[in-house]
Chains A and B, each alone.
Chain A
Amino acid sequence: MSNVTSERKPNRPGHGGGPMAGMRAVEKPVNFKSSLVKLLKCIKPFTVVLTVALIFAVASTVFQIIGPKILGDMTNEAYVILFGQQIDMAQISYWGLWLVILYALGAIFNYIQGFIMSTISVKITQKLRSQISEKINKLPLKYFDTTNHGDTLSRVTNDVDTIANTLNQSLSGIITAITTLIGVSIAMFSISWIMALVCWITIPIALLLTSLIVKFSQKFYKQQQQSLGDMNAHVEEIFSNHNIVKAFNGEEKENQKFIQNNDKLYVSGRNSMFTAGLMMPIMTFVGNLGYVLVSAVGGVLVLNGYIEPGSILSFLIYVKLFSQPLMQVASVANVLQSTVAASERVFNFLEEEELTPDCSTPKKIENVKGNVEFKNVCFGYSKNKQIINNFNVSVKAGQKVAIVGPTGAGKTTIVNLLERFYEIDSGDILIDGVSIKDLTRADVRNMFTMVLQDTWLFEGTIRDNIIYGKQNVTQEEVEQACKNANIHHFIMTLPNGYNYVLGDESNISQGQKQLLTIARATIQNAPMLILDEATSSVDTRTEELIQEAMDKLTQKRTSFVIAHRLSTIKNADIILVMKEGNIIEQGTHNELLKKNGFYAELYNSQFTQKEGQPN
């Protein structure tokens, strides 16, 4: 069975994509005001260009509005024929040419506006993303151990894209919409105030109906998302555990559950789709209502000589121009809310507490020997639960420390403290007599080479991965390191050898990855070593290779080994026994056996069993 990545995309509402855009459930920001202010601050450097864009937006809208008025004049000119006069074609052509220029200019202005806005939104979001990435480097490891990666990822992409969309489309759209509403109103009043008032009747109707529809459709949309979530969760569970369902004859049970979910999804999906789809006919109706009112009232007015017939045509176009921005203005609240909610998440991340800065006058250790001392070390992952109490141990240069304990005993804690991934609460860790707090983090980490079981390799060539710890090395050194790590031969069998690109589809086994990380560590050649021994997830032959490579790596280095193999443990100078996060025993193999404590129990239960003889 393939494992399904547990990184689920959160179902966050975004807008811009999809046919139901603008109809989605709106997520509300916690602190609307302060987040909005922060967002505005991001836009501030672009104030000048932004103003230019808005001026162009207004200008193009104004042209858009003057157009129908001239068109009406042209029609009026045609009307003279009803009274037996000749149409003045010269005049019509004059107006026509003016309109061509006007429309062309309007389009150009409109484009300039769009060009500027899309540029600004890309620049701002590019910067936000960079800030997020830089922030990642400044956060303490605790943040990553306690938050879901998918969540941070979605801030980089989804949330930032939501902001981009709003800046790009909604912002100028709203400005245009408001300009249009005002401009069209002015134009209408200048032609006939009665007709203008008649058109205005449609505004409250439109607003009322839209907000009603949005309210309903959001309710149903939420229901739909809920049942979709249930459905997805069930399907994911069943499909990923296909063999279990089969082995336990669970098909019928699951099918009943599926039918239930499917029915719920059907009803909510149908309702959500219908209510969202109501927007169009209702707005068409409002548009048509305006159309009818203009035609009828206009007709009556013309008949009574208040306005000219061409004005009806102008109004007909105005009514159309009117209904579109009305919808936009009605939805502005929602767009703004979801954007501010998105930027709130981004800003919250950017404001997370950072690492304490390195010591301002750091010491340097020349020629690291590798004496390590833990002095009264206390540590807990959370403030109210201390797991390591007053721990003392002194490790001489070149010694081997084995860390043992059952699964989940917190063996990586020692790694976290040595590499300064986490800071100790009290006490001190000394390297060659110098407290690691007085060194820069970079220097501390340079003293250690680390090989973890989680074989993290990145997308790139094998060579790039191996020289990850030390960039300026020759090909010979790389090959020598790989030979030491027993992986050179394998690399040579790959297409392109050292330039083979590691990626999702590359055919590298877990064991081979492990060897690559050993090669990477070999190149780094640091005076001390942190090693996580492989468990049995690789085949025997590869395990032999790994073991041999690891043994080479530990030679002449102070090494801390999370040990699973008996030989490593027995040969260790110091064994640290961990249970439930705490170091409960320490000593050599023989000392600990004599003590007859937890280690002895562990050792006896796993290794000394005889056939049919429980201990």
Chain B
Amino acid sequence: MIKLMKYLSFLQWICILVIIVFTACQVYLDLLLPDYMAEIISIISASGTTSEIWNVGFIMLGIALLSSLCTIVASWLASYISAGLCRTIRQKMFDSVQSFSMAEMNKFSTASLITRSTNDITQIQQVYGMGLRLLFVAPIMAGIAISKIVGKSSELSWVTAGFVVLMLLGIITMFLIVTPKFTKMQKKVDKLNSVTREELTGVRVIRAFNNEKLQTKKFEDANNDYSKINLFVGRAMAMLNPFMNIIMSGLSLAIVWFGCYLVGQSMLGVEQMMAFTQYATMVLVSFLTLTMFFAFLPRSIVSAKRIREVLACKTTILDGEGANFDDTKKGEIEFDNVSFSYDDAKFDVLKNISFKAKKGETVAIIGSTGSGKSTLINLIPRFYDVTKGAVKVNGVDVRKQTLHELRDSIGYVPQRGALFSGSIESNVNYGIDNVLSSEEMQKVLEISQSAEFVNKYKDKEKHHIAQDATNISGGQKQRLSIARALAKNSDILIFDDSFSALDFKTDRVLRNELKEKVKDVTKIIVAQRIGTVMDADQIIVLENGEMVGKGTHKELMKSCEVYRKLAYSQLSKKELSV
């Protein structure tokens, strides 16, 4: 928590000082009230006049107002600082994550990065806000109150201290008993959730196997477990309230009882005794709020740690210096003896891959799941860097180009047709600086086989796309993501298994369109269907990260065992037209 405070600006640090000053004022003023009350008692004892008391009363009223004003200013500053600090942290996190390569993304997992930059920051923002107020109040309160108390009666100070210790001990014991149960309770909630989710997601299977009873029993077990621990925690927590009451009342009683004795011994004035009960309660309350604050702390410490992990992580993919391109090599892709392994893996995911795609060629990559197809493709836009060898795009090693110029020359279509919320238009225009003219837009939509369904919408390409594009089908998503890549008008197109969400017919028509309409563009296609790759200029067959075949369909049918097996498992001999 504290380490993250390095992101505070100078102004914010000043504000923290101001908070301390205002908090001190507020506490000082609050503690003045019992003094004035004691003065009223003195006036009474001295048989003073009514107007004397009224005067004191007005002063007290002024003090109460001032003290509240101090609190309001302090809490405004606290909100200002904590919200500001968290805005900065949020921005830094976002910058960090944006700079990450796929390697770092996978290290943290996307879901975790999302919670870290949303929930975790919200969590610490609240605690900063509370902390900036409460953390200062209790020590200042204790300091001033003790200095007043000690001067007046050391005996009563000891009594007060005793009660503070007693309260702290009580609360700490309480938390020691309950906290581990809370962790356990969380597990039981998770269990209950997972059983319920199971019941919901598996509803077809459960019913098909007539297993409703079995499932109900599982739920009941989880429900019982959860309720049992809830009961324990509930009953334990029920102790907190009576305990606090007895400490508070007990302290007042002890001070009055013992105070009376001291007054009897003439060791203390009556008005002092009364003021003392007030101080003592204030001290107790300030310690109480402090402990409550510390109860919140553990969770936010975890959050803060998770945030710092992200901020501390540096990307492994650094921008290149920029390169001079040879125009004759435009659109070329070359893998020069490329090997790749993930950071902590023992084995290479790709081993000694070499091939070259010339301008306008179609290169298909085929192989079973886990053979390294997607990994190979990810090396081209530098989502990862090679471990050995080099990948050259437009004739230059990708590591020498700036990421911006490299990625500008590539149109990438992912495996999952991922679109952004907005409109069809905003999605297609995503990769380019200016927007497409309506003719260009139509052309791109037509090639990608999207025009047919887009034009069915009343508002055509202005049609709204919901988050996760839930309002259109998987195949439509895929087609629009192809349109988005086409709109870039780049030298190279990469399709990462992008055709599998399409039905066979659309797949076929689309590839023919691509062949005709964007013939100068180099195309790299990853696929699992033999039909998709058959007519490529060059097919690369991968197995376990190694290139076991390279050539055209005809050549491979003759020479490559893996390819042949793959082909026969999908199509008949006649259809393969060998």
Contact = CB atoms under 8 A, between A and B. Distances in A.
A458 B98 CA distance: 37
Interface stretch (B242-250, B330-338, B444-452): B242-250
Interface in B139-195: 189, 192-194
Contacts of B531: 606-607, 609
B394 interface: no
Nearest to A7: B197
Contacts of B431: 247-250
Interface residues of B, number: 167
Contacts of A245: 98
Contact of A299 (B43, B368, B408): B43
Given A247-B410, A605-B504, A611-B535, A291 B76 contact: no
Interface in B211-252: 211-212, 214-216, 219-220, 223-224, 227, 230-231, 234-235, 237-239, 241-243, 245-246, 249-250, 252
B565 interface: yes
A18 B430 CA distance: 40
A106 B414 CA distance: 68
B270 A2 contact: no
Contact of B68 (A5, A110, A285): A285
A407 B57 contact: no
B505 A406 contact: yes
Contacts of B118: 228, 231-232, 235
A288 B129 contact: no
Given A232-B118, A243-B102, A299-B44, A103 B249 contact: yes
Given A235-B94, A269-B125, A296 B60 contact: yes
B91 A78 contact: no
Contact of B75 (A253, A278, A302, A601): A278
Given A539-B368, A541-B368, A149 B50 contact: no
Interface in B492-511: 500-501, 503-505, 508-509
Nearest to A141: B203
A118 B41 CA distance: 45
B323 interface: no
Contacts, number: 455
B474 A537 contact: no
Contact of A303 (B47, B78, B113, B528): B47
Nearest to B62: A292
Please classify the interface of chain A as helix (H, G, I), strand (E, B), loop, or mixed, using the class held by over half of its residues. helix
B575 interface: yes
Contacts of B68: 281-282, 284-285, 288
Please classify the interface of chain B as helix (H, G, I), strand (E, B), loop, or mixed, using the class held by over half of its residues. helix
Contacts of A428: none
B153 to A, nearest CB: 14
A288 B529 contact: no
A289 B508 contact: no
Interface stretch (B82-90, B340-348, B454-462): B82-90
A575 to B, nearest CB: 16
Interface string A47-84: 00000000000001000100110010011011101100
B198 A459 contact: yes
Given A122-B227, A296-B57, A610-B577, A137 B467 contact: no
Contacts of B253: 67, 71, 96, 99-100, 103
Contact of B220 (A130, A320, A421): A130
Nearest to A240: B110
A4 interface: yes
Please indicate which of the listed interface residues A6, A239, A567 has the most CB atoms of chain B within 10 Å of its own CB.
Answer: A239
B49 to A, nearest CB: 8
A133 B80 CA distance: 46
B475 interface: yes
A273 B199 CA distance: 40
Contacts of B242: 60, 106-108, 110-111, 114
A223 interface: no
B114 A141 contact: no
A313 to B, nearest CB: 6
Contacts of B408: 249
Please indicate which of the listed interface residues A303, A459, A541 has the most CB atoms of chain B within 10 Å of its own CB.
Answer: A303
A587 interface: no
Contacts of A280: 71, 75
A469 B202 CA distance: 13
A170 to B, nearest CB: 13
A336 to B, nearest CB: 21
B72 A278 contact: yes
B566 to A, nearest CB: 6
A391 interface: no
A4 B111 contact: yes
Contacts of A5: 111
Given A274-B79, A295-B57, A606-B508, A153 B193 contact: yes
A379 to B, nearest CB: 17
Interface string A306-318: 0001001100110
A537 B575 contact: no
Nearest to B203: A144
Interface string A110-133: 110111011101110110011001
Contact of B418 (A110, A244, A258, A445): A244
Contact of A458 (B198, B421, B467): B198
Interface stretch (B273-281, B350-358, B434-442): B273-281
A25 to B, nearest CB: 15
A160 to B, nearest CB: 10
Contacts of B37: 291, 295, 312, 316
Interface string B534-572: 110000000000000000010000000000011001111
A166 to B, nearest CB: 13
A86 interface: yes
A5 B112 CA distance: 11
A136 B575 contact: no
Given A285-B65, A288-B33, A295-B57, 15 more contacts: A75-B274, A78-B273, A81-B270, A107-B243, A107-B246, A118-B237, A144-B200, A270-B84, A278-B72, A295-B60, A296-B53, A445-B209, A450-B205, A535-B500, A612-B535
6 contacts: A92-B257, A141-B207, A280-B75, A298-B40, A609-B531, A611-B553
6 nearest A-B pairs in the assembled complex, by CB-CB distance: A296-B57, A114-B238, A118-B234, A606-B504, A539-B368, A248-B431
